[in-house]
Amino acid sequence: MSADPLALARPDIVALKPYAHAAWDPRLERLHANESPWRVPGDASAAGLNRYPEPQPQALVEALAALYGVQPAQLLVGRGSDEGIDLLTRAFCTAGRDAVIVCPPTFGMYAVAARIQGAAVSSVPLRRDAGYALDLPAIRAALVPQVKLVYLCTPNNPTGNEIAEADVLAVLEACAGRALVVVDEAYGEFCGHAGHARRLAGFPHLVVLRTLSKAHGLAGARVGSLLAQPAIVALLRKIIPPYAMAQPTVEAALQALQPPAQAVARERIVATIAERARLAAALAPLPAVERVWPSAANFLLVEFRDAGAALRAIMDAGLIVRDFRGTAGLGEALRLTIGTPEQNDRLLRSLA
Ligand SMILES: Cc1ncc(COP(=O)(O)O)c(C=O)c1O
């Protein structure tokens, strides 16, 4: 098959004539988009909430591209990584025919987006006995022609481990000309790995997902970046809703990407990593705890002797954690997000 990843896309999307949104030219006064000419009282935004936002806000795209070390044409900004997952699924999977590969236990939206689109979900479980490493022979065996997207999450949610660099490369090699490899690095800032965006030039079928929701503290603003070769970005721009990025979000993200805010984000990443180590070391010897899995993210996957009892104790302390009991491949597991030192102390007291 061709090395052109657009050969993998839905031909009807490749041929689609996108919606023509109102032209963007800030030098001219806008009488072309049927907006109100007046701001609402209390609107303190820079651009005015009475105006439609810039479709792919150039300043934000440039700031994110600098943050992730890619060219602006290699980046699509959307409403969280979730939007990138949704767009990839819709652009590459024909309903009733195509499929995606997921490696559970992993982030649930890959499979949900596929099912919404009517694409099949082929599951190749991670190897619990090998610290939740990829099962490479099984991925190769599952790589039938219908598979258009292969999702790798590193560090993986909810297990917390990184996927070995050699394994990511092996999947990239196996998928060349056959499927896109989507490497989700939502927790990349917490792991010390340089990330896979630097490999975009070598692998035209690589897509990397990054987000401001975790280490950058902007989950409520919804800002995710999809990094890929320009042809893939241009294809997805055709199907993203015309004014996806709300103006308050754009302004909040630009603010968060300024050097002073970035310095604070870096300090908090260091603090989170330190708290992760402290929490893991304090949890491991507790009688209630069966196992603390090593984590390269901002959470810990912890197996308890009785996860129900642990959950009740944690909730009695006024905290909520994620219940993963009943998830295939996980035992009596809860996922604990690293909080402030005070919250982490309270969590530990509740389990002691
Ligand atoms: C692995 C992973 N990918 C993507 C997301 C979605 O992130 P966003 O807030 O950018 O949509 C999450 C959120 O929990 C996640 O854990």
Residue 280: which domain range? 260-351
The DSSP code sequence of 50-111 is TSPPPSS-HHHHHHHHHHHTS-GGGEEEESHHHHHHHHHHHHH--TTT-EEEE-SSS-THHH
- Work out the number of other CB atoms within 10 angstroms of the CB of residue 145: 10
Residue 151 has pLDDT above 50, yes or no: yes
| Residues 210-267: tens digit of each pLDDT | 999 999 999 999 999 999 999 999 999 999 999 999 999 999 999 999 999 999 999 9
Same domain, 140 and 272: no
Same domain, 163 and 264: no
Q: Is the CB of 160 under 6 A from ligand 1?
A: no
| Residues 45-86: tens digit of each pLDDT | 999 999 999 999 999 999 999 999 999 999 999 999 999 999
Q: How many domains does the chain have?
A: 2
| Residues 205-222: tens digit of each pLDDT | 999 999 999 999 999 999
Average pLDDT (164-188) is: 98
Residue 154 has pLDDT above 80, yes or no: yes
| Residues 263-299: tens digit of each pLDDT | 999 999 999 999 999 999 999 999 999 999 999 999 9
Residue type, 295: S
Same domain, 253 and 276: no
Q: Is the CB of 213 under 6 A from ligand 1?
A: yes
Q: Is the CB of 107 under 6 A from ligand 1?
A: yes
What burial class does residue 227 get, using C-beta atoms within 10 Å of its C-beta: 0-12 exposed, 13-18 middle, 19+ buried?
buried
Nearest CA to ligand 1 atom 11: 80
Residue 173 has pLDDT above 80, yes or no: yes
Q: Is the sign of the CA dihedral 27, 31, 32, 38 positive or negative? A: positive
Which among 239, 257, 275 is the end of a domain?
A: 257
If one residue of 157, 182, 187, 249 were mutated to test the ligand 1 pocket, choosing by the most ligand atoms within 8 A of its CB, it would be 157
Residue 1 has pLDDT above 60, yes or no: no
Average pLDDT (102-111) is: 98
Residue 297 sits in a domain whose CATH number is: 3.90.1150.10
| Residues 117-149: tens digit of each pLDDT | 999 999 999 999 999 999 999 999 999 999 999
Residue 2 has pLDDT above 90, yes or no: no
Same domain, 232 and 284: no
Verify cis geometry, omega within 30 degrees of 0, for the bond prior to 341.
no
Same domain, 165 and 276: no
* Ligand 1 atom nearest to 83, measured from its CA: 11
* Ligand 1 atom nearest to 214, measured from its CA: 9
CB 115 within 8 A of CB 100: no
| Distance from Cα 37 to the centre of ligand 1, integer Å | 37
Same domain, 14 and 27: yes
* Ligand 1 atom nearest to 222, measured from its CA: 9
Same domain, 143 and 203: yes
Same domain, 119 and 252: yes
Nearest CA to ligand 1 atom 12: 186
Same domain, 152 and 292: no
Q: Is the CB of 219 under 6 A from ligand 1?
A: yes
Which among 210, 225, 257 is the end of a domain?
A: 257
Q: Is the CB of 224 under 6 A from ligand 1?
A: yes
What is the structure's pLDDT at 3? 75
Which among 257, 288, 316 is the end of a domain?
A: 257
Same domain, 47 and 186: yes
Same domain, 249 and 267: no
Same domain, 30 and 48: yes
| Distance from Cα 113 to the centre of ligand 1, integer Å | 13
Q: Is the CB of 185 under 6 A from ligand 1?
A: no
Residue 19 sits in a domain whose CATH number is: 3.40.640.10
